[in-house]
């Protein structure tokens, strides 16, 4: 069935280094993608989104890349900080409703 999956369940990164979290999606008709950050015991927090007519979008210390050819989405976090420790979810939207298909999540661990 349709799914959004992640390659790595856990990612350990040295503080100050860049982090790259990857996500694969299977529905070529998906046209909207979102990254969320979820800290322990809290709800998901919106980080950045991208529409299918774009390949790249930048925010503050974050960049999302979309490769529609291989159906791949990535989140890059520059100069990773301890506060970036969380689980990161990618989600895709299929169609013209609010139904989001969620990835399994990647736990980002920051090493001091």
Residues contributing to the site for other proteins (CB under 8 A): 31-32, 34, 36, 41-46, 49, 51, 89, 93, 95-100, 102-105
Nearer residue to other proteins within complex by CB, 25 or 103: 103
φ/ψ of residue 49, rounded to 5: -135, 165
Minimum Å gap between C-beta 16 and other proteins is: 27
Minimum Å gap between C-beta 41 and other proteins is: 7
Nearer residue to other proteins within complex by CB, 10 or 14: 10
* Interatomic CA distance for residues 48 and 107, integer angstroms: 17
Nearer residue to other proteins within complex by CB, 87 or 110: 87
Minimum Å gap between C-beta 46 and other proteins is: 4
Burial 60-88 (b: 16+ CB within 10 A, else e): eebbbbbeeeebebbbbbeebeeebbbbb
Nearer residue to other proteins within complex by CB, 16 or 100: 100
* Interatomic CA distance for residues 89 and 55, integer angstroms: 19
* Interatomic CA distance for residues 61 and 48, integer angstroms: 11
Cβ proximity of 64 and 48 under 8 Å: yes
Minimum Å gap between C-beta 32 and other proteins is: 4
């Amino acid at each position: 069935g349709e799914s959004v999956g992640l390659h790595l369940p856990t990612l350990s990164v040295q503080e100050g280094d860049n982090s790259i979290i990857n996500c694969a999606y299977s529905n070529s008709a998906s046209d909207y993608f979102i990254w969320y950050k979820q800290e322990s015991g809290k709800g998901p927090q919106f980080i950045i989104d991208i529409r299918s007519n774009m390949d790249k979008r930048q925010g503050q210390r974050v960049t999302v890349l979309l490769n529609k050819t291989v159906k791949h989405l990535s989140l890059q976090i520059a100069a990773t900080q301890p506060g970036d420790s969380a689980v990161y979810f990618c989600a895709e939207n299929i169609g013209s409703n609010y139904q989001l298909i969620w990835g399994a999540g990647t736990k980002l661990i920051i090493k001091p």
